[in-house]
Structure 1
Amino acid sequence: MKKVLCILCFGAVFTACKNNNSTDSIGAAKQATIDSINTINTVKQQTLDSVNTAKAKEAERRASQASRSTASSPSAASGSSTTTTTEPKKKGWSNTAKGAVIGAGTGAVAGGIIGKDAKGAVIGGLIGAGTGAATGAIIDSKKKKKD
């Protein structure tokens, strides 16, 4: 009876020590998650940079329009009128930026669910960001033509 128990214990120890693959797969999953988060943050930063660039260009355009309109107005030449300037209304995010951020979030969630891993989430996030940005750009161009 002692020999049987010793053999069972010896077998259990070797079986337990043999299963080291689970820790490697956990480490790989953690690294994949970190990589996907870094990718999403990169896309988010690029989107914010493009929004800031667009805002700067819009501010330059408004400033040049304002300088042209005050220089060419007849009342400015007479010197008898006072000009009042109002702050331009802040527009907020463009539809392109909104679409990219919403698409990236939705795509990442859908990709994570469908792919059942971080790789699917990254791919879904990138595809969603591209699709959302394209859709937002179409909406922006239609609004620009309307105005």
Structure 2
Amino acid sequence: MKRILMIAAIGATVLASCGKSEKQVALEKQQALTAYRDSIKLDSFKRAAVETEKRKVEEQHQAELTAARRSAARSYSSGNTVTSTTSSGGVTSTQAKKKGWSDAAKGTAIGAGVGAIGGALIDKKSGRGAIIGGLTGAGAGYVIGRAEDRKSGRVQPKQ
């Protein structure tokens, strides 16, 4: 029995000596807190640098737009492209016109067709329903297509 108690006491002593002291735990917490604060500072410096770079690019873009607006621009049309030449440093920009039907035109045509068919099926008296349905469908199709043109940038929204 003495041996068992002796082994248990030695085991308890060994386990107690292997544990970290409160000073070591406090020191590790302090080091972790310091490392965390440093990482936050570094992150905030990185974010500030990125924001500064974004501001510089935006200011440069605004300056270019202002210069382009102020300068006298001469535009001429050639086929499907529009070429603008400005007097500010001889900058030339080429923009391609969009080809094909606009969404408003497509919407009008599709709406008129569907409306005419629907109107003819509903009111079978000498084409009256087809005419009314075609006009209604064309109007609705135009409104929907025009909204799509504004979203895509083909038509500028009202100022």
Quick check: which one's strand share is greater? 2
Asked which structure has the greater RCO (Cα within 8 Å, sep 6+), the reply is 1
TM over 0.5: no
- Please give the range of the TM-score, normalised by the shorter of the 2 chains: 0.3 to 0.5
Quick check: which one's helix share is greater? 1
TM score, norm. by length of structure 2: 0.40
